[in-house]
Structure formats: C-alpha cells, structure tokens
Amino acid sequence: MNNHHSGGHSCWRETSRRGFMQGCGTVAALAAAGMSGPAAAEEGDVAALLDELPNNWGRWGEDDELGALNLLGSEQARIGMTVAMGGEGIETFPLQQSITGDAIFLEEDDFPTTTTGDPVFPGRTPARRGNVQDEQSYQQGEIEPLSGGMKFSDDKFFTDFFLQGTTHLDALGHAWYGDRIYNGFDAATTAETRTFAQGIEGCPEGEIEEITETRGLSRADIGQAAEAGIAGRAVLLDVGREMGDENGRLDLGTAFGLKDLKATASAQQTTIRERDILLIRTGAIARTRDSDATWDPLNEPGLQFSEDLVCWLANMDIPILGADNLAVEKVVQEIDDQLFEIPLHGATLRNLGLYLCEILWLEDLAASCAADNVYEFFFTGAPLYAEQSTGSPFNPIAMKATH
C-alpha cells in the first residue's frame, strides 16, 4: 500500500461517518435531479464525509502545488509511448470538444432538453467568437493591406469565455471545503489580488475596458500543470458501452461506482496499472450534439462517491481522472440518506491532488477502442497557461496503437 497521509483511516473499512453541510444551490440541484419533495435527503457535511479518508498533503513537500502530476515523469512517458508504438501504426485522437458558440443556455425549468450545442455548467455562459478584421474589412476600406500587399484576419471572443466552459483541466485550487485547499494552503490564496498599470500600450484609448485589478489563485493554480506538461499511459473505461442503451449512453441520473469501473475493465479485458491516467466514457457529452437525445446538466450520469473508490484512487496513484461529462462525478449525490454536491471534487482535487478533466470528447476514441479491443494509449498535452487560473482549456491527445 502506498504511503498516503490518511489520518488513521483504513481504506478497506466499511463503516462511515456522516454529518451536516452548508450547501449552495442545493435546492435548485435537487429539483433538477428529481430528488425534491418530502423524501429528499437532508444536507450532509462533506468535511465529515471525507474526514479520515486518505490525502497527499505533504507527500511531495510542504510547498508542493503540482499534486499527483508528480507521479508522471520520464518512466510514465516512456511506458505510454511504448503502448502507442505496440502496433502496426498509430491513430491520433484529439479529445477536445469544439466551441461552436451555440451553447445550450436555458432556464432551469427547461431541462431536460433536446436542444443541441456546447454544454456549459449552470452559471457559465456561451462563448462566441467573431472576426475583428477579414477580407470584408479590406473591401470596405476599414483597413489597408500591409506594405507589399499581405493581408490577414484576426478574431476574438465577443462574449465572456469561461476557462472551464469547454474541455478543460481543473486546477487543484479549484474546489475545497473549510478554510484549506490542496496541501493545506489557506483558502484565502484563491483570492490573491493582481494589480495592473492603467492603460495597455498599443491599444487605442477607449477600445478596451479599463481593468486594473483582478483576483486569482496564488497557490495550486493551473500554471503548475501547464509548466509540467502531461504524458503517460492512459486507459479508457467505456462504462456507457458496457452499461448503457443501444447508443452506448448511460441514462440521465445514472450513478456508477468502483464496482462498475472494475466490471467495465474486466469486460474490456483491460488492466489498470498504478499511475495510469483514467478516462471514463458515459456518452453524456455526445447527447449535447444529438437532437434526438435529452440532456440535463445537473442530472448527467456520473461517478458516485464511496470510501472504497477514494481509497482505490489513492492506492493506485491515479494522477488524472477524466470523463465526458461536466463534473466527472454525479453533481448531486445521496449518500447514506444525506445530500451532497460534488463531494469527489473535495476528495480528489483538495485531498489527493488528483486532477479532474471534464467535457472530454471520447466518441471517436471509444469507437476505435471497441473495434480492436485496445483500450490503452499514450495520453499527452498541457492546458492553456493562464496564470492564477482555477482551470484552463485543454486539448489532450490520445495516441493509440493500430492493429
């Protein structure tokens, strides 16, 4: 067993402790998840839920901000590359969902919906880009070609672009409970002020909003993962194909756990090794591009918390857990008759330093895996390096051996 700081918890213990939680948005989440009414569970206490489960605080030093990515190095990169080179050729699969700008942006009461577009978590808004110059600009005399006749186009996002509004990697400081984030850093470090000099050289006065101060993470931001890069062996667990409907999709509201992950691995004849990057396909994101399928952001199928699951992730030293849904886990969960929202975010990001990757596009990779029964591949990439960010857009690449 790996040497995790567990606070005396036995990872194979069956008993558990449950308490009382302060929830934000729980009533809305309950209604969306179909759990409202007299039989709805009371709110639980995530601190009590996770109190004696393992954590990695101090494992890589008191000042560590990289977390479980410390587990990925030269050897894991070599193993991943060896896997990719084990066939007659290599298929490459970008795993990023495209940004169309046609986001599914409805009122809470309008879900579930068959509207298609870019999935966004409630509270985040659609991202729409547009050109600021192009051939039309030249034709209309708004701008002139460069010396010698060269022209170019340029564009920008005209609406707010949430850094976690598309396929992204969560920073370790993204989610916490109490007054501490990953590795015991003070939660106040999530609101570090950065001041900028007024005006930006080269920008005409009045064309941009004058922003001279922002807040962001001074500890455990996404820059740690961006600087380190990610490379290693990865495994796809296609739970949707194993447990889902004729389209290989789990039904809305489906919760699955460690036993289901192991059963899927067994059915695929897939071995999960220590330090593997683990990707889970549910079919949820594919629903957002299918006008015949219903989708509900707060009632997507997702991973269900259990003590055994958290202990298994810790003992297997899983550095990244990714899925094709908004939160990896089921957003609203009932655990021992008590209600929780995203408890696994606390167990993974905050306690284990295990990164979560959300809104992955896994359809093409999954089809290839099913065709030749090869579910292992080389996974590599790095998130957009945006300093102080709580998460960042990510286009990981899966390189898979072909047979």
With tokens 């990289």, the residue in question is 66
Give me the pLDDT at residue 100, please: 94
Q: How many CA atoms lie within 13 A of 6 on its CB side?
A: 18
Give me the pLDDT at residue 376, please: 98
Question: What fold characterizes domain 65-102+222-330+340-402?
Answer: Glucose Oxidase; domain 1 (3.50.30)
The residues of the chain scoring below 70 in pLDDT are 1-40, 198-210
Please give the C-alpha separations between residue 37 and each of 15, 27, 42, 193, 345, in angstroms, as whole numbers: 28, 10, 11, 42, 26
Give me the pLDDT at residue 331, please: 97
Give me the pLDDT at residue 29, please: 45
Q: How many CA atoms lie within 13 A of 304 on its CB side?
A: 16
Task: Tell which phi-psi region holds residue 64, choosing left (phi > 0), alpha (psi between -120 and 50) or beta.
Answer: beta
Q: Which residue stretches of 244-336 are H helix?
A: 258-268, 284-287, 307-315
Give me the pLDDT at residue 206, please: 56
Give me the pLDDT at residue 16, please: 32
C-alpha–C-alpha distance, residues 187 and 131, integer Å:
39
- Residues 249 and 287: beta-carbon distance below 8 Å: yes
Closest CA relative to residue 56, chosen from 259, 262, 355, 322: 355
Give me the pLDDT at residue 5, please: 54
Residue 292: other Cβ atoms inside 10 A: 8
| 3-state helix vs strand vs coil in the chain, percent to 5 | 25, 20, 55
Give me the pLDDT at residue 35, please: 42
C-alpha–C-alpha distance, residues 214 and 275, integer Å:
36
With tokens 């942006």, the residue in question is 105
Give me the pLDDT at residue 337, please: 94
Give me the pLDDT at residue 212, please: 81
Where is 394: in which H helix or E strand?
A: none
Give me the pLDDT at residue 108, please: 78
Please give the C-alpha separations between residue 367 and each of 32, 124, 253, 373, in angstroms, as whole numbers: 31, 31, 24, 10
Give me the pLDDT at residue 180, please: 98
- Residues 48 and 178: beta-carbon distance below 8 Å: no
Residue 51 tokens, joined: 């109190």
Domains of the chain, by residue range, sit at: 65-102+222-330+340-402
C-alpha–C-alpha distance, residues 242 and 96, integer Å:
23
Residue 194: other Cβ atoms inside 10 A: 12
